[in-house]
Amino acid sequence: MAFTQIYVNLPVTDLEASKKVYTAMGGAINPDFTGDTSAQVVLAEAIVVQLMTRETFATFTKRDTADGPIELINALAAGSREEVDRLADAALAAGATEPREAQDMGWLYNRAIDAPDGHSWELLAYNADAMADATTPGQD
C-alpha cells in the first residue's frame, strides 16, 4: 500500500471542547503539533485528527468551510461491542451528542456520535465471519 496513515483535518469553533471529546475517546494530544489554534489528537498509530479553529482551517483552503449540512461521516472500528459502548459513552460524557440510536445487525454493532462542531463519527465493531451471511441495508 502507498499510504501509511490518515490525517483528518477538522475545523472547530471551540478547540478546548473538541479536545475534551477526542481525548475522552482515547486520543492523545501530540504537543509537537498543538498550540492555541490547533491540536493534534492521535487516535491510533495510523489515525490522527488535527483540530483547527475555523480561522486556522481557512488558511489551508480557498474554499468556503462547511457549516450546516453533513458532508462526511468518519468511522472508527473498535475491538468489541463493549469497547464501542465505552468509547461512545466517554465521548457523550465529554460533550458529544448521539444523533440516533445504536444499530445492532448481529454481525455489526455501531453507535454514532457528533463532536461539538457536528463532526460525525461512527464507532463500530463487527464480526467478519458472520458478515458473509448477512445482508447490509442498501445492498441487494
Check if the beta carbon of residue 120 is closer than 8 Å to that of residue 22.
Answer: no
Taking the chain (140 residues) in runs of 10, the rounded mean pLDDT of each run is: 92 97 97 98 97 96 86 93 97 97 95 95 92 61
For the stretch 96-116, pLDDT in tens is 999 999 999 999 999 999 999
Q: What is the pLDDT of residue 129?
A: 83
**CA dist list (Å): 52 to 9, 26, 38, 65:** 7, 19, 4, 12
Q: What is the pLDDT of residue 41?
A: 98
Q: What is the pLDDT of residue 91?
A: 98
List beta partners, residue 108: 126
| Beta-sheet strand order (sheet of 103-104) | 73-77, 120-126, 108-114, 103-104
**CA dist list (Å): 12 to 59, 111, 137:** 14, 22, 32
- Which domains can be identified in the chain, with CATH numbers? 6-63+70-131 (3.10.180.10)
